[in-house]
Structure 1
Amino acid sequence: MREPTEEEIKNVIMPLMLSGAKMLDRHCPKCGSPLFEKDGRVFCPVCEYRAKKQMGEVDDVKGILMKKLVEIANSLPGDPEEMEKHLRVMERIIDVLRKYKELEG
């Protein structure tokens, strides 16, 4: 993983320091950020921030896919051949959504 960016230092580490969290003299083995302790919990704020950000991006993709699925379902054509094409696209979207669900656990 890469080291903390200036944005992460400004938006994650600095506010944490100002909130009273204790910066430890140890560093995260994944990103190199200083580890912090707050309320008895030792953690890497940068890795946690990145994980939350990534989950938000996954949720955005899932939302887009769901919206497209509904859009296609609401506009099914009467022609059987065209309807079959639409249904295949819907099936692919559902497969991708299932894979996202499996990844989440």
Structure 2
Amino acid sequence: MITDEEIRKVIAPLLLSGAKMLDKHCPKCGSPLFEKDGKVFCPVCEYREKQKKEKVKGVEEKLTEKLTQLANSLPEDIDELEKYLKIMGKIIEVLEKYRRLEGGR
């Protein structure tokens, strides 16, 4: 289902830009399909995919920042160092999962 936000942020600007709303609908989300410059597309699905990628990128940036902070403050005590390395390993695992979600970056 299309939200009011998507209508305001995606569909209305498309109509104003000269894109043609077609009498066909997206099988995935139900939005009207549009045509612009010879390309038929679902603006809502494209918008949602972009939002998802931005969210994943934000999480990835935060994890990378935390990983850098940990790497820059490694303790000399071996027990503490082992804890840091375990945490860093988990962060790397999560980063790899996010990168796979993002399309293998």
TM range (shorter): over 0.9
Q: How large is the Cα RMSD of the aligned pairs?
A: 0.8
Q: CA deviation at 1:98?
A: 1.5
**TM-score, L = length of structure 1:** 0.94
Q: Which runs of 4+ in 1 moved over 3 A?
A: none
Q: Distance in 1 between matches of 2:76 and 2:23?
A: 67
Question: Gapped runs of 5+ residues in structure 1?
Answer: none
Q: Distance in 2 between matches of 1:100 and 1:8?
A: 25
* Amino acid in structure 2 at the alignment position of 1:58: V
Q: 61-70 or 92-101: which moved more?
A: 92-101
SS of equivalent to 2:56: helix
* Amino acid in structure 2 at the alignment position of 1:75: S
* Amino acid in structure 2 at the alignment position of 1:56: E
Percent sequence identity is: 62
Q: How many residues in Structure 1 have an aligned counterpart in Structure 2?
A: 103
Q: Does 1:15 align with 2:21?
A: no
Q: Does 1:41 align with 2:39?
A: yes
Question: Gapped runs of 5+ residues in structure 2?
Answer: none
Q: Which residue matches 2:3?
A: 5
Written as runs of structure 1 = structure 2, the 5 A alignment for 1:1-105 is 3-103=1-101, 104-105=103-104
* Amino acid in structure 2 at the alignment position of 1:49: Y
